[in-house]
């Protein structure tokens, strides 16, 4: 018996007027039921199907008791249009008829109380006739009840797609002209987990959630385990699969396998997932073996956002698209050359950068291509890049589509188990199951599940096994991605017609651009040390990768501060290695022009140019414009020419900045005493006094002269 495994379908539904399910149309504000389904058997109806079973629980989540909760199954008409399938997925009201009578769930459900839901119906006679023709049917789980102080109403309903390959009790027919199919299997983390990855140091993760994701009960482990189980002995399924890998995920797990740290408010601690990382990488290598692999952008970065960090410079986009070498190094498998699966529709600047980086094919949603696009893909107008479309309907079914406002039926397609069931239904529909004679079907289906698909291993295995059954039944035929891409593009056309790409977050772009400017200024100040032979670009490389993590599509809808934490931490980790030491005692300036001894440490493997900056320095003056060179790997005293502007005790803060004004380290406070003014100050004071004396003498002279002239006139 195939089950939804540990996955649950949860539906919260405010009481609304009953439609086709309740005996009395009545709305009851505040009454709620949650329906959790944990079993659906079978997932696809065939000629050998004799029963249909649905099981789960019903929970009263409202603040009033519900009397006589009861459930029944309802089935809608066979869907023959893409629009009809979309309406089922969105929870729109559809025409249906009862498949079973109402069955009591409990006498009463008090607030917070649950009761089991069990329906098993024999598919014979009239019930079998409702699934008599091959096609895709809406299946509705309808829960009615009477909330306290109200009337009978539909309080919860869940809809899903039920494919029927052959009517119950009928002979199977083999469809002709079946389209070919390729299935992508994405592996990327929920969000980037790296907090800091300093050159030559241990990787520090922001938390240890990735250890859970790749652990026995984790999402990423489920994806690997399910695929490994499904492809064993199923050559057709194995030939159709292509694994989409995130190079950042692989690099992070590899770093974990060598020992890593986890950032906490109290300081870094050892991570718990070293052995788990080793086991997961070994399982992944065993799975992909010699199979098809394609690269995702590094950290699944939004390439359009990346292109706005440094407008006009393709370097960051090129870096994001260049993860194939990492995948090959860590898995032993060479990804499909020149193929990338970015999320969203690449803009013109991204396409130009990808072309320069050697990317010849981008996988994208068919809904974002011109209507002329077919399964064979198109060459993007104004570019040499080929756009290979994934099927939009199947993708939306598996990812979940928005619910129709005020809908009586809640599809809950965002739930992993029901979403995969809807994905099976959408795949069967797109393959031509139940389509009217003469209606055109695609030549090829490129199926792309959600990039961060979250479902238990048993549910994923059930999905893959059913796709394998489709292949065995001839509903679709297996085609490798290599074969698909070997065919010439069907034509050329624009991208972006769907207009559905979310706009880049301006706050995020601004923060990443600012960090990139600081990093560029830091790198420009560095010089290669002949003894260490480390390039400045290698020193700042962790920040560049952190910028890509900040642009990851996983951060959409989350605060920009969270997305940029890694870049800020890595930039700080580099800049803090060049610092001014805090003096342990008060420094006495022997004269007004005594130099200020400043001890500077440079723990970077490169030399760096910087200038001293004095703040809070009302008693001292220095030349802030002069650049100093600090060699790699050491520290020493530097004597900063200063001039005392006053005698007595005072303090000054000393820090370092690159010529491009990128701060280094933190400032150090110097406590100073001075008994003399500087020579320049004295000279300036004497000069000012002389000038004052000269002006006074001139004024006295003029007065005497004017007085004498007055006496001469009187005489």
Q: Is the dihedral of CA 641, 646, 651, 655 positive or negative?
A: negative
Could you tell me how many residues make up the chain? 715
**Centroid of chain to Cα 554:** 1
d(CA 536, CA 541): 9
Q: What residues in the chain have per-residue pLDDT under 50?
A: 1-31, 372, 408, 410-414, 497-500, 678-686, 688, 713-714
Q: What is the DSSP string of 581-597?
A: PPPSSPEEESSTTPPEE
- For residue 124, which of 167, 95, 89, 159 has the smallest C-alpha distance? 167
**Centroid of chain to Cα 638:** 46
CB 632 within 8 A of CB 600: no
Lookup: tokens for 714: 């009187």
The C-alpha torsion from 470 through 472 and 477 to 482, rounded to 10°, is 100
d(CA 581, CA 644): 21
Provide CB contacts within 8 A for 134, sequence distance 6+.
164, 165, 166, 167, 173, 433, 434
Strands 663-674, 241-245: pairing kind: unpaired
CB 189 within 8 A of CB 246: yes
d(CA 389, CA 245): 18
Question: Residue 568: its pLDDT value, please?
Answer: 96
**Centroid of chain to Cα 542:** 18
CA atoms within 13 A on the CB side of 702: 6
According to the 3-state scheme, what is the secondary structure of 72-110? EEEEECCECCHHHHHHHHHCCCCCEEECCCCEECCCEEC
Strand partners of residue 120? 53
Lookup: tokens for 452: 């961060």
Question: Residue 710: its pLDDT value, please?
Answer: 56
d(CA 145, CA 35): 13
Q: What are phi and psi of 55, to 5 degrees?
A: -140, 155
Question: Packing angle between helix 392-399 and helix 416-430, nearest 10 degrees?
Answer: 160
Long-range contacts of 265-270 (CB under 8 A, 24+ apart): 268/204
Lookup: tokens for 660: 């491009």
Lookup: tokens for 686: 């004497």
d(CA 409, CA 240): 35
Question: Residue 20: its pLDDT value, please?
Answer: 32
CB 181 within 8 A of CB 479: yes
d(CA 673, CA 670): 10
- DSSP letter assigned to residue 710: H
Cα dist from 34 to 31, 263, 316, 398, 403, whole Å: 11, 38, 47, 22, 16
Lookup: tokens for 713: 């006139």
Burial of 95 (0-12, 13-18, 19+ CB in 10 A): exposed
How many of the other CB atoms lie within 10 Å of CB of 414?
16
Cα dist from 72 to 7, 425, 705, whole Å: 21, 21, 121
Which alpha helices (DSSP H) does 109-151 contain, by range?
A: 125-129
Q: Is 220 helix (H, G, I), strand (E, B) or coil?
A: helix
d(CA 110, CA 65): 4
Of all helices (H) and strands (E), which one includes residue 548?
Answer: helix 536-550
Strand partners of residue 386? 361, 379
Q: Is 137 helix (H, G, I), strand (E, B) or coil?
A: strand
Question: Residue 495: its pLDDT value, please?
Answer: 72
Provide CB contacts within 8 A for 232, sequence distance 6+.
none
Cα dist from 597 to 56, 630, 672, whole Å: 76, 15, 11
CA atoms within 13 A on the CB side of 443: 9
CB 69 within 8 A of CB 58: yes
Strands 108-109, 103-104: pairing kind: unpaired
Cα dist from 638 to 575, 580, 589, 597, whole Å: 19, 10, 15, 6
d(CA 197, CA 254): 13
> Across the chain, how many H-helices and E-strands are there?
19, 35
CB 90 within 8 A of CB 411: yes
d(CA 706, CA 169): 132
Burial of 702 (0-12, 13-18, 19+ CB in 10 A): exposed
d(CA 273, CA 390): 35
CB burial string 204-218: b at 16+ within 10 A, e below: bbbebebbbbbbeeb
Q: In what order do the strands lie in the sheet with 596-602?
A: 578-580, 596-602, 634-640
């Amino acid at each position: 018996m195939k089950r939804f495994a540990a996955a649950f379908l949860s539906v919260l539904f405010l009481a609304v007027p009953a439609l086709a399910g309740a005996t009395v149309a009545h709305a009851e504000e505040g009454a709620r039921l949650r329906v959790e389904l944990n079993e659906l058997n079978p997932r696809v109806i065939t000629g050998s199907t004799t029963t249909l079973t649905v099981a789960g629980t019903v929970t009263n989540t409202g603040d009033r008791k519900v009397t006589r909760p009861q459930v029944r199954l309802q089935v809608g008409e066979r869907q023959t249009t893409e629009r009809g399938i979309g309406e089922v997925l969105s929870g729109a009201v559809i025409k249906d008829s009862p498949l079973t009578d109402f069955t009591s769930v409990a006498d009463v459900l008090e607030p917070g109380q649950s009761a089991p839901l069990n329906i098993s119906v024999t598919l014979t006679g009239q019930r079998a006739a409702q699934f008599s023709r091959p096609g895709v049917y809406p299946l509705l789980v309808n829960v009615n009840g009477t909330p306290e102080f109200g009337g009978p109403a539909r309080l919860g309903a869940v809809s899903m797609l039920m494919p029927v390959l052959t009517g119950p009790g009928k002979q199977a027919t083999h469809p002709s002209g079946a389209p070919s199919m390729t299935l992508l299997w994405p592996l990327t983390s929920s969000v980037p987990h790296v907090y800091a990855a300093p050159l030559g140091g241990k990787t520090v993760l922001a938390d240890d959630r990735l250890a859970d994701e790749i652990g026995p009960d984790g999402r990423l482990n489920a994806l690997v385990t399910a695929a490994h189980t499904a492809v064993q002995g199923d050559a057709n399924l194995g030939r159709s699969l292509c694994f989409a890998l995130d190079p950042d995920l692989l690099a992070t797990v590899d770093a974990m396998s060598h020992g890593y740290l986890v950032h906490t408010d109290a300081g870094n601690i050892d991570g718990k997932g070293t052995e788990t990382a080793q086991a997961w990488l070994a399982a992944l290598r065993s799975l992909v073996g010699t199979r098809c692999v394609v690269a995702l952008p590094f950290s699944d970065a939004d390439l359009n956002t990346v292109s706005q960090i440094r407008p006009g410079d393709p370097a960051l986009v090129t870096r994001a698209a260049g993860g194939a070498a990492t995948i090959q190094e860590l898995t032993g498998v060479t990804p499909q050359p020149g193929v990338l699966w970015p999320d969203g529709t690449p803009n013109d600047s991204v396409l130009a950068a990808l072309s320069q980086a050697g990317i010849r094919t981008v996988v994208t949603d068919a809904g974002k291509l011109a209507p002329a696009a077919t399964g064979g893909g198109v060459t993007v107008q104004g570019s040499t890049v080929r756009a290979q479309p994934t099927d939009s309907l199947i993708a939306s079914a598996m990812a979940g589509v928005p619910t129709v406002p005020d809908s009586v039926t809640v599809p809950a397609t965002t739930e992993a188990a029901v979403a995969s069931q809807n994905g099976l239904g959408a795949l069967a529909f797109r393959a031509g199951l139940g389509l009217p004679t003469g209606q055109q079907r695609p030549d090829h289906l490129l199926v792309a599940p959600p990039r961060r698909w979250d479902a238990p291993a048993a549910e994923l295995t059930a999905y893959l096994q059913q796709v394998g059954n489709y292949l065995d039944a001839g509903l679709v035929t297996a085609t490798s991605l290599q074969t698909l891409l070997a065919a010439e593009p069907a034509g050329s056309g624009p991208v972006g017609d769907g207009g559905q790409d979310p706009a880049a977050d301006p706050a995020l772009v601004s923060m990443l651009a600012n960090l990139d400017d600081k990093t560029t200024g830091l790198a420009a100040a560095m010089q290669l040390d002949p003894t260490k032979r480390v390039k400045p670009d290698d020193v700042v490389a962790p920040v560049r990768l952190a910028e890509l993590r900040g642009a990851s599509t996983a951060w959409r809808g989350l605060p920009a501060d969270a997305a940029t934490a890694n870049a800020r931490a890595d930039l700080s980790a580099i800049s803090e290695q060049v610092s001014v030491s805090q003096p342990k005692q008060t420094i006495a300036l022997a004269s007004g022009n005594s130099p200020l001894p400043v001890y500077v440490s440079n723990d970077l493997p490169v030399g760096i140019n910087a200038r001293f900056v004095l703040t809070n320095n009302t008693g001292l003056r220095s030349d802030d414009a002069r650049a100093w060179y600090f060699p790699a790997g050491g520290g020493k005293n530097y004597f900063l020419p200063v001039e005392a502007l006053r005698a007595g005790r005072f303090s000054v803060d000393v820090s370092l900045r690159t010529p491009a004004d990128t701060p280094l380290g933190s400032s150090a406070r110097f406590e100073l005493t001075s008994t003399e003014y500087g020579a320049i100050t004295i000279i300036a004071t004497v000069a000012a006094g002389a000038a004052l004396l000269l002006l006074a003498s001139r004024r006295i002279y003029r007065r005497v002269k004017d007085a004498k002239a007055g006496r001469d006139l009187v005489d």
